[in-house]
Each structure stands twice: as structure tokens, then as C-alpha cells.
């Protein structure tokens, strides 16, 4: 189910929020409407943590992670790191990365199995990624752009890339990531798809400028619209997360 939301009159939701299967990081200071929509959708399945990274609110672009870990830039303060370690579930390893390209969200796109990175990323960072996040790392460009984290977003179910990606590139990415990929836009024709939306395996949040066509594309590629109406996503997923909670709490 893709919902449309606005963060403080900006449609670029992916800039401010970082959503994974285990947790969600949001900045402080927004209107309660935003938080209420988020918490309404994620309701206990996912921990919602209010934080800032490096004193800024652009949390979504500075950090990156999946259900196994979270990577923060070296500019993140110790208090923030501590706060995150306290708030997040214990399975999630919080690690600070010493990297010249500090906007990790723009440079790295990952799901639970594969990560695509900026071609100029350091070797050590690549190792840290593969260690902490437990993923296979590939250096890539998307439609000639080096900021893979901005122009491409993918989960374990599907992925959305920059609209001008060629057909051959799309095929190659699909094979690499083993998920269906589609080229499309969000927020009424914006090409920066990752900055315009926050998505995980069962929900997506798009900016409120997103047109119905774009929402339908998002829902179909990320398989958010469950074909079996009876056992709705609500039923099965909630059961899984409840079981998870029971064991971890």
C-alpha cells in the first residue's frame, strides 16, 4: 500500500526518512500529521526512531542500512550514535563509517541481500558494508549517474530506477539483484526516485505530488498490492512481526 505524505510541505520524503524492514528513522520537529501517518502504517511492526544525524534533518540521505545493520557517516555525533544504539533493536548493528563521501544514502542503495554503491567508494567502506549489512557489494552507475543511492531504490521484492535507464541496463540490474526492476518517476515526473519515496517490503511512502499512474507503478513493482485479498498483507505480516516481537522483547 503506497501512501502519499508530505514532510513539512516538501514532497521529498526519502530525503528525510530512512525506512527498512526492521526500523524507521525520522527527523525531529515535523508536524504531528506526518508522524501519525507513519506510525499508523507501521504500527508496531517497525520501530520508529526520531533522531538527527550530524545535527541535520536529512536523515534519509546521510545514513543507509537494512534489517541487519545501519551505517552512519563520520560526521554523526556520539550522542546520536548512542541514542540510536539504545533505540534500535539489538540485531541491528550501528556502525560509523569513515568515508570521504559522507552522504551515504546518496551513494549506497541496498536491500537485505545486495548493495549497489558509488563507483568511487573506498575499499574499506566496501568491506564494512559487506560485513555490517551482510550483503554483496557491486559498484554501478544508473543511466550515467554515479549517485546510485539517489536514482535507484530497491527492496527484496522489486526496484525502481531513473526513467532514462536503457533497456540493457535494466536487464542487467535485474539479473544482478534478482528482483524485477522498472524505470519510472515519482512526484509528478521527478527523476530522483529514491529521494522522493521511502519504501520497504510491505509499505511505501511517496510524496504527495505523486500522480496516480506513478503510485500504481510503485505498487506493482514493489508488490505492495497483494493479489490475494483474503489473506491480506496485514494478516500475514502482522503475524510475523508479532512473533518477532514476542521473541525479542
Partner 1 sequence: MLPGSAPAAGGTGMFVPAATAGTVLCCMCGVSMQPNPANMCARCLRARVDITEGVPRHAAVVYCPDCSTYLQPPRSWLRATPESPELMQILLRRINRPLARLRVSLSGAEFVFSEPHSKRLRLKLRLRREVLHGIVLEQTHPVEFVVHDRLCDSCSRAQANPDQWVAVVQLRQHVPHRRTFLYLEQLLLKHGQASLAIRVAAAPGGLDFFFGSRSHAARLVDFLATVAPIQTSTAKQLVSHDTKSSVYNYKYTISVEICPICREDLIALGPQASRDMGGLGPLVLCVKVTNAIALLDPLTLRVHHLEEKKYRVYNFKAALTSKQLVEYIVLDIEQESPEISIDGSRYQLAYAQVARVSDFGKNDTIFTVRTHLGHLLNPGDHALGYDLYGANLNDDDMDKAMTRYSLPEVVLVKKSYEKRPRTRRWKLKRLPVEEDAANKAKGEEEKRLDEYEAFLRDLELDPEMRFKMNLYKNEDYRSEMASTVGDDIPTVPIEELIEDLTLGDDEGDEGEEAA
Judged by the rule CB under 8 A, the positions of this chain that interact with partner 1 are 119, 138-144, 163-170, 172, 176, 183-185, 188-191, 211-214, 216-217
Nearer to partner 1, 63 or 160 (CB): 160
CB of 17: closest distance to partner 1 in angstroms?
22
CB of 169: closest distance to partner 1 in angstroms?
6
- DSSP H or E segment with residue 218: helix 212-221
Nearer to partner 1, 44 or 189 (CB): 189
Pairing of strands 93-97, 204-207: unpaired
CB of 71: closest distance to partner 1 in angstroms?
22
Strand partners for 49: 25
What's the Cα-to-Cα distance from 5 to each of 22, 159, 205, 210, 224, rounded to whole Å? 21, 20, 6, 9, 17
Nearer to partner 1, 92 or 170 (CB): 170
CB of 171: closest distance to partner 1 in angstroms?
10
Nearer to partner 1, 167 or 247 (CB): 167
CB of 135: closest distance to partner 1 in angstroms?
16
What residue has cell string 544514502? Answer: 105
C-alpha cell of residue 69: 545493520
Nearer to partner 1, 111 or 140 (CB): 140
- DSSP H or E segment with residue 197: strand 197-199
CB of 163: closest distance to partner 1 in angstroms?
4
Pairing of strands 181-183, 159-161: parallel
- CA pair distance 150, 127, nearest whole angstrom: 21
Best CA proximity match to 116, nearest among 178, 163, 187: 178
DSSP symbol at 88: S
- CB-CB contact of 68 with 91 (8 Å): yes
Nearer to partner 1, 165 or 203 (CB): 165
Amino acid at each position: 500500500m503506497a501512501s502519499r505524505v508530505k514532510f513539512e510541505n516538501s514532497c521529498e520524503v526519502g530525503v528525510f526518512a530512512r525506512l527498512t524492514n526492521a526500523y524507521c528513522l525520522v527527523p525531529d520537529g515535523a508536524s504531528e500529521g506526518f508522524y501519525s501517518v507513519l506510525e499508523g502504517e507501521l504500527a508496531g511492526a517497525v520501530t520508529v526512531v526520531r533522531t538527527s544525524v550530524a545535527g541535520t534533518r536529512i536523515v534519509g540521505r546521510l545514513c543507509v542500512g537494512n534489517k541487519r545493520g545501519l551505517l552512519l557517516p563520520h560526521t554523526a555525533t556520539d550522542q546520536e550514535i548512542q541514542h540510536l544504539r539504545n533505540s534500535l533493536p539489538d540485531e541491528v548493528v550501528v556502525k560509523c563509517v569513515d568515508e570521504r563521501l559522507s552522504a551515504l544514502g546518496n551513494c549506497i542503495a541496498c536491500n537485505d541481500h545486495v548493495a549497489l554503491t558509488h563507483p568511487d567508494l573506498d575499499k574499506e567502506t566496501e568491506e564494512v558494508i559487506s560485513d555490517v549489512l551482510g550483503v554483496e557489494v557491486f559498484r554501478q552507475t544508473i543511466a550515467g549517474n554515479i549517485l546510485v543511492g539517489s536514482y535507484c531504490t530497491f527492496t527484496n521484492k522489486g526496484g525502481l530506477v531513473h526513467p532514462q535507464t536503457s533497456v540493457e541496463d535494466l536487464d542487467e540490474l535485474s539479473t544482478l539483484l534478482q528482483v524485477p526492476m522498472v524505470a519510472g518517476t515519482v512526484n509528478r515526473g521527478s527523476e530522483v526516485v529514491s529521494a522522493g519515496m521511502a519504501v520497504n517490503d510491505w509499505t511505501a511512502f511517496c510524496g504527495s505530488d505523486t500522480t496516480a499512474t506513478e503510485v500504481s507503478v510503485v505498487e506493482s513493482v514493489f508488490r505492495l498490492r497483494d493479489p490475494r485479498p483474503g489473506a491480506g498483507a496485514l494478516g500475514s505480516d502482522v503475524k510475523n512481526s508479532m512473533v518477532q516481537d514476542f521473541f525479542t522483547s
